[in-house]
Structure 1
Amino acid sequence: PDDAARAWAEEPGIEAEDVLLAVPRAALFVPQLALRVAFLPLRGLVWVVDEYRLVQRYESVFFSDDGTRGVLPTFGFQSGYGFSAGLSYFDTDLFDHDEELHLSARFGGRFLQRYEAAFEGAHVGGSALWLDLLARYESQPALYFYGLGDAGDLDGAAPAGGFDPRAGARATRYREDRVLGVVHIGGTFGDPGRPSVAEDVDGWERGTIVRLGASFVMNARDFGGESREYDEPSIEAVYDTARLPGFRGGSTSVEALATLIVDTRDNEGRPSRGAFVQLLGGGAVPGVDGPGWWHAGGEVSGWLDLSRGDRVLMLRAMMEGVVGDDADIPFSDLPRLGGPNRLRGYDDGRFRDKVAAMASVAYFYPVHEMVSGELFFDGGRVARTVGDALDVDAWHFGGGLGLVIGTEDDVLFRLEVSYGEAFLVTLSTSPFEAFDEREE
């Protein structure tokens, strides 16, 4: 039959998009196949959840009728720490304008105990007011410490009094008890709920959210030797903790930071296009626990739709730095790399110094209605100066694969297997935003 009989609007052919993406699709075919095979048992579990409507049955008991309030079990796993579990209560429409309240308690894994209350409001009361509040207490009995800087591994037994923390790296553990308070306040502009190429009266393209304001972060920390037995020695058996600013006697700081966020993602949970940009600058308020220091950072992430919204390439780069006298900056406030948010394949807090730089690339593809496969590759370094941190020849690299389960609104959890310095497994609800790690 002719074209008219087929009722084609135009004669079909090969689209330019298919030609341009042929090479990257071919290059990613083998890793994608390996990922599908590796996570076949989990895909079976997803089928069981779907077949027997387990999520819907849970929601019918523990969620409100409109789904805005409920109680959720929380769980996680991180190599080097083990499993954690707890409960979380949420209300996602507290004052009828999508304000959110979250209350949670968590135990096990890296935590002896952790309690948190959080309020999130992008448009409080329907206004342009942006207000996020966070209060948390946590006791972490055995965090990793590998020394300061990017020196090589330490050799031999520790001398009397311990090594200088900048002399080299060796895996140790320490205890941290912390009280954290965070306030983000400012204005929210744009409307991410109705994407459009048109512009509203304020000149923002619909689908773009811009937040401009101030952030205040209070940290009160107390440190000590590890209080849970692991293979790694306690910190004081290897390092001279008297040379570690803030360790003896604890540290208290209040940071005041100007914050700018520009978010053009098509959605937060499973973005297929758009960008996320965050800039912050300010410092620790002098007189709280010393003369203070300057602190600045930036992150840029972008998502590229490779094919019809379900095969996505993500590119990400971040840098963070502090400026001040070494003795005035607590070691716990130094920028760091390692863990599920920054430089996967390395233990949490594996590297820390005055400047941290990192870049990442990830490819996402569909596995199930709510499940995406992930292939990722990270690289980064810490150093005392910006120039040294950007020396790519000296960067550390890691990569791996994973599964991301979630909706367009939120990531439910992420399972990742990575290798850099060692094989590591993480099950978490880690966000993409690099500077959320400052609150972790």
Structure 2
Amino acid sequence: PIRLTWNIAGASYSFLQEQNVLSTIGRLLGPRDLPYGFMVNFKAGGITGIGGGLTFYHDSFFGEANRFKVRTLYTTTGTRRAVLGLLVGKDRATYLDSGAGYTLRQNARFFGLGPRSRSANLSYFSQETSWIGGTLGHHEGPFLGELTAVYSGAGTHKPNAERTPTLPEVFRRQPFGYGELSKVTTVSVALSHETVDGDGRPDRGGIRRVEASFTMPSGTSPGGDYWGFRGDLEQFLPLWFTERALAFRGYIGYFAASTTKIPFQRLYTNDEPDQLRGFDDYRWRDRGIVNATLEYRWPVWALNTLQGTGVDAYLLSDVGQVFHTRQQIDRRNVTVSYGGGLRIVTGTGFKGRLEIAHSKEETVFRITSDQLFQYNKGDLYNGRDQGILR
């Protein structure tokens, strides 16, 4: 499989080079003098289908330290996403990160809960999530403290008629929260330590982050209060040759509620940024998730310089699982994925990835403008806090 992945990556690179696609991308993604403009969002593969959208950004929004963004995404399988973000005080000691968003996933999947849910129990449902919130952050050297408050609603119902079988058809005993709207307020505190410069081709430094959250339902929402705890570790190391890097990411998250049920749409699942890349999104779901990810990266093409616009290749491996209790974290429940891909990078950072990953159940191909490493920069501004925006 590794040789096959490498051959596919090599053939793809050669084809793109011959068709002048890479040069065109370089011109499109190259630096611009204006502080505002539009960027194309893209996503393809698996249950996502093929999709795209536009992002309008302004990197000097009523001040050089302020950022404003409106991002949209539409896919052929019925996913709709819109995010509005405002970042005030970027690169200053104290900043405000805020955002609001809406996501409709018309073909979300449910196989049951836990690390031993069966692939034969595939069922579909629709999920709508809307949210608004803000984060107050303060830097002290490499340390960062954050206080976040988010109000969100997550509802589930039957999918489109062409998506069968539906969740009620497969599971006579439906998961807690199905068919209901879960409205909650979540408050979290996070502390992180970061020594990485940029998000394009880091080859040194790391990120260490711990977070605790408390979630309170509103009105007649199902369930009760519960705590959330999460730890993230990322490390980048130069390996073997110049401009080569080994990227490691490990994380564990858990929702603790000893006497309260948690609506299933609020539980952890293998969706961005917590993908188990050999499995399509929403294959696994439970109160906790743990994973270790490795990527070995090296440059294969550069427009002008190695630190500018270019394409990097990488090999990947994911080892992880979901769990209900810590006793379920066991080698018999662990999933293993491996594969490779290409990353598009410019002088201003990461722009997109194309990858293929294999597991014992399936092989998944993805094209996306989101990355899994360094994902927590501007969580609400970018609309991608996995621990809160469930």
Q: What TM-score bracket applies, with the shorter chain setting the length?
A: 0.7 to 0.9
3-state SS of paired residue (2:239): strand
Question: Hey, what does 1:386 align to over in structure 2?
Answer: 326
Shift of 1:322: 0.6
3-state SS of paired residue (1:80): helix
Shift of 1:120: 2.6
Q: Structure 1 residues 76 and 300 mapped into 2: Cα distance closer, same or farther (>3 Å)?
A: same
Write the deviation string for residues 327-365 of structure 1: whole angstroms up to 9, x where unpaired.
531111112236674211112121111221111111111
Q: Distance in 2 between matches of 1:112 and 1:396?
A: 27
Shift of 1:401: 0.7
- 1:243-258 alignment runs, 5 A limit: 243-258=174-189
Do residues 422 (structure 1) and 387 (structure 2) align? Answer: no
Shift of 1:321: 0.3
Q: Distance in 1 between matches of 2:122 and 2:375?
A: 24
Write the deviation string for residues 293-324 of structure 1: whole angstroms up to 9, x where unpaired.
01010110111111455211112211000111
Q: Structure 1 residues 173 and 251 mapped into 2: Cα distance closer, same or farther (>3 Å)?
A: same
3-state SS of paired residue (1:41): helix
Shift of 1:75: 1.7
Do residues 300 (structure 1) and 233 (structure 2) align? Answer: yes
When the two chains are superposed, the root-mean-square deviation of aligned CA atoms in Å is 2.7
- 1:38-437 alignment runs, 5 A limit: 38-46=9-17, 48-49=20-21, 51=23, 55-56=26-27, 58=28, 66-121=33-88, 123-124=89-90, 127-153=92-118, 170-190=121-141, 209-227=142-160, 229-230=162-163, 232-240=164-172, 243-285=174-216, 287=218, 289=221, 290-307=223-240, 309-325=242-258, 328-337=261-270, 341-369=274-302, 370-389=310-329, 391-420=330-359, 421-431=361-371, 432-433=373-374, 436=384
Shift of 1:184: 1.5
Q: Structure 1 residues 334 and 37 mapped into 2: Cα distance closer, same or farther (>3 Å)?
A: closer
Question: Hey, what does 2:380 align to over in structure 1?
Answer: none
Q: Structure 1 residues 32 and 274 mapped into 2: Cα distance closer, same or farther (>3 Å)?
A: farther
Write the deviation string for residues 55-98 of structure 1: whole angstroms up to 9, x where unpaired.
53x579xx9x6232111222210212310111111112224434
Q: Structure 1 residues 352 and 99 mapped into 2: Cα distance closer, same or farther (>3 Å)?
A: same
Ranges in structure 1 where 5+ consecutive residues have no aligned partner: 1-29, 155-168, 191-208
**Conserved 8 A contact 2:184-2:218:** no
Do residues 35 (structure 1) and 6 (structure 2) align? Answer: yes
Q: Distance in 2 between matches of 1:339 and 1:180?
A: 17
Shift of 1:49: 3.9
Larger % of strand: which? 2
Q: Structure 1 residues 72 and 434 mapped into 2: Cα distance closer, same or farther (>3 Å)?
A: closer
Structure 1-normalised TM-score?
0.76
Q: Distance in 1 between matches of 2:4 and 2:169?
A: 46
Shift of 1:414: 0.7
Higher relative contact order, chain-length normalized (CA < 8 Å, sep 6+): 2
Q: Distance in 2 between matches of 1:368 and 1:73?
A: 21
Write the deviation string for residues 213-264 of structure 1: whole angstroms up to 9, x where unpaired.
211232212211111524x4111111136x4222222211111110122221
**Conserved 8 A contact 1:174-1:224:** yes
Q: Distance in 1 between matches of 2:108 and 2:168?
A: 13
Shift of 1:210: 2.7
Question: Hey, what does 1:157 align to over in structure 2?
Answer: none
Larger % of helix: which? 1
The one-letter code matched in structure 2 to 1:183 is: G
Higher deviation after alignment, 140-149 or 98-107: 98-107
Q: Distance in 2 between matches of 1:110 and 1:356?
A: 26
Shift of 1:41: 3.0
Q: Structure 1 residues 383 and 97 mapped into 2: Cα distance closer, same or farther (>3 Å)?
A: same
The one-letter code matched in structure 2 to 1:347 is: D
**Conserved 8 A contact 2:5-2:339:** no
Q: Distance in 2 between matches of 1:340 and 1:325?
A: 27
**Conserved 8 A contact 1:219-1:252:** yes
Aligned-pair identity in percent equals 22
Q: Structure 1 residues 95 and 285 mapped into 2: Cα distance closer, same or farther (>3 Å)?
A: same
Which of 1 and 2 has greater Rg? Answer: 1
The one-letter code matched in structure 1 to 2:323 is: A
**Conserved 8 A contact 2:225-2:260:** no
Shift of 1:398: 0.8
Task: Give the number of equivalent residue pairs.
Answer: 369
3-state SS of paired residue (1:345): coil
Shift of 1:415: 0.6
